[in-house]
Amino acid sequence: MDTFNLSFKSLWKVGAVGAAIAFVWAIGTGDPETPESALETIKFIKTILNSKFHILNLKVLYGGSVNSKNLADYLKFKEINGVLVGSASLNKDEVRKMAALLK
């Protein structure tokens, strides 16, 4: 825990900090965490890092079986600042569908 504390104490000076979360059971399984559960976890992470390390502008990405069918469900929450696309990024048609959703 000391290494964790030291790392974040240094980061707050940078001004912009990013993090990514992925639930182990959702990575590459096609069984993503619900957007609501991801949101709850992200809010918790932001609250802890803000209260303990005064990181106010933390940007958090969600990753774990993101695809064109669920992308909008994650991005509708302002606290989820983006997504990490894994195996779906290997399918060019899927990438095109996701890109179209972002326009």
pLDDT in tens, 2-42: 555 555 565 555 556 788 999 888 888 888 999 999 999 99
Residue linked to tokens 């000076």: 13
pLDDT digits (tens, 9 = 90+) for 48-101: 888 888 887 889 999 989 999 999 999 999 999 999 999 999 999 999 999 999
pTM: 0.81
Cα–Cα separations (whole angstroms), residue 77 to 1, 39, 48, 60, 80: 30, 7, 19, 11, 6
- CATH no., domain 15-101: 3.20.20.70
**Encoded tokens for 67:** 């695809």
- Residue 47: count other Cβ atoms within 10 Å of its Cβ: 11
